[in-house]
């Protein structure tokens, strides 16, 4: 079950409030490359390098959970060349980062529908999930072939099955939440989108219902740990009422 909203941030010395869980829509890779006259895949490769830097910075910034939007259900509409290139980047990232993730205490998980993904990629995903299952320094969740509406539809199907089997009598919010890809994860306290776009793009619609949002013009390959720290500092100044006065 998700954490209670009121306990969603951590108080540190001096009254500093840090979000326990941040989620990032990593936007702007293709634009970053195009502005430099390079192929879009160069931007995606640079974006993957940026993920590693942000992952390493999160624990020192007081972040326990990081969820990143890597590939949406709508991204299949892109050119075949770009989609295949992205899948290759994902495979290489998972394959070559497994050792360092494990050594640095990062637990890695994936959300989204896996059936459409290449079997080798699915195998790598399952392998790194098992390999890092006992880690706790940072919980990293990567959304691949993820769409919020798709997740809710799949969750509703799972819940309907439970009702038909008599496992659930009167279905409520907690029952549906337990059927989401993120079951057992705390809800994000802060959602960040890079590149200047101000859409949520079907990302965690259920989980982010009470999240704070930050939209930054910085393109993802240029988004540094210093950018993240500045956003977290601003978050600490916000007052979250969750519908109260």
pLDDT of res. 16 = 54
Instruction: Give the start-to-end residue ranges of the domains of the chain.
Output: 18-235
**Binding-site residue ranges:** 27-32, 40, 44, 72-74, 76, 78, 193, 199-201, 212
Q: For domain 18-235, give the CATH superfamily.
A: Decaprenyl diphosphate synthase-like (3.40.1180.10)
d(CA 40, CA 43): 5
Strand partners for 23: 67, 191
Picking from 53, 33, 65, 28, the residue whose alpha carbon sits closest to that of residue 216 is 28
Taking the chain (245 residues) in runs of 10, the rounded mean pLDDT of each run is: 40 60 98 98 97 96 97 97 97 88 94 96 95 96 98 97 93 96 97 97 98 98 98 87 58
**Binding-site residue ranges for substrate:** 28-32, 40, 44, 72-74, 76, 78, 193, 199-201
The number of C-alpha atoms within 13 Å of 106 and in the hemisphere containing its C-beta is: 28
pLDDT of res. 14 = 35
Residue 234 three-state SS: helix
233 is catalytic: no
Element (H, E) at 191: strand 190-193
Strand partners for 21: 65
d(CA 204, CA 200): 8
User: Is 0.75 surpassed by the pTM of this model?
Assistant: yes
Q: What is the DSSP string of 72-117?
A: EGGGGGS-HHHHHHHHHHHHHHHHHHHHHHHHTTEEEEEES--TTS
27 is catalytic: yes
Residue 228 three-state SS: helix
pLDDT of res. 244 = 61
């Amino acid at each position: 079950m998700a954490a209670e909203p009121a306990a969603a941030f951590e108080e540190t010395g001096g009254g500093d409030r840090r979000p326990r869980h941040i989620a990032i829509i990593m936007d702007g890779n293709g634009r970053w490359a195009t502005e430099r006259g390079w192929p879009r895949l160069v931007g995606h490769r640079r974006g993957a390098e940026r993920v590693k830097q942000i992952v390493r910075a999160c624990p020192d910034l007081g972040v326990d959970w990081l969820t990143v939007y890597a590939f949406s259900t709508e991204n299949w509409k892109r050119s075949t060349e770009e989609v295949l290139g992205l899948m290759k980047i994902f495979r290489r990232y998972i394959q070559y980062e497994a050792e360092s993730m494990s050594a640095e205490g990062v637990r890695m998980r994936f959300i989204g529908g896996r059936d459409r993904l290449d079997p080798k990629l699915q195998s790598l995903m399952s392998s790194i999930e098992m390999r890092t299952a006992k880690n706790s320094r940072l919980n990293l969740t990567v959304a691949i072939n993820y769409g919020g509406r798709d997740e809710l539809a799949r969750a509703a199907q799972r819940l309907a099955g439970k009702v038909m089997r008599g496992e659930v009598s009167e279905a409520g919010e907690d029952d549906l939440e337990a059927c989401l890809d993120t079951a057992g994860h705390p809800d994000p306290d802060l959602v960040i989108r890079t590149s200047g776009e101000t859409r949520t793009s079907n990302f965690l619609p259920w989980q982010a219902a009470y999240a704070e949002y930050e939209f930054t013009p910085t393109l993802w390959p240029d988004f540094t740990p210093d950018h993240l720290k500045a956003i977290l500092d601003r978050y600490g100044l916000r007052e979250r009422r969750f519908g109260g006065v």
